[in-house]
Amino acid sequence: MIVRVLIADDDPLIRDVLRDVLDDEPDLEVVAVAADAREAVELAGRHSPAVVVLDVRMPFGGGSHAAAEILQRAPGTRILAFSAYSDAGAVDEMRRAGVTDYLAKGVRNTELVAAVRRLAGG
């Protein structure tokens, strides 16, 4: 089974790296890439990805707003918050919005891939 993934981050370098890392895996397919929260919501509704890798702080609403909207439009989607900010407030806000898991930027690629697979399986 191929896991469909949407990447949403306002940093073009992060988007490119995430796409390369995830697309290198034979069981993962990046179906869309968004540069802001509004685009993430729109693309999630269009592509119904299994997993969204979502930056916490983005233009046009931020990650928590995007997470809540994505889950309304694509209820089966699981969301992995991926952020440079790992403070308790940011984590709590994302969890309240429906985020399933939270990773800090800078983790090893293998940890990111494992988290995406874990979310897709459960």
List, for residues 34-57, the tens digit of each pLDDT value.
Answer: 999 999 999 999 999 999 999 988
Residue 1 pLDDT class (50, 70, 90 cuts): confident
Binning pLDDT at 50, 70 and 90, where does residue 92 land?
A: confident
| Nearest Cα residue to 72 out of 38, 96, 45, 99 | 45
| More confident position, 92 or 25 | 25
- The H or E element that residue 25 is part of is none
Residue 61 scores a pLDDT above 80: no
Strand ordering across the sheet containing 28-34? 28-34, 3-8, 51-55, 78-83, 101-104
> What are the structural domains, with CATH classification, of the chain?
3-121 (3.40.50.2300)
Please report, rounded to a whole number, the percentage of residues in the chain having pLDDT higher than 70: 98
Does pLDDT of 122 surpass 60? no
pLDDT average, residue stretch 20-44: 97
pLDDT band at 102 (very low <50, low <70, confident <90, very high): confident
Nearest CA to 22 out of 117, 104, 99 is that of: 117
Tokens 């697979």, residue located: 117
The secondary structure element, H or E, covering residue 47 is helix 37-47
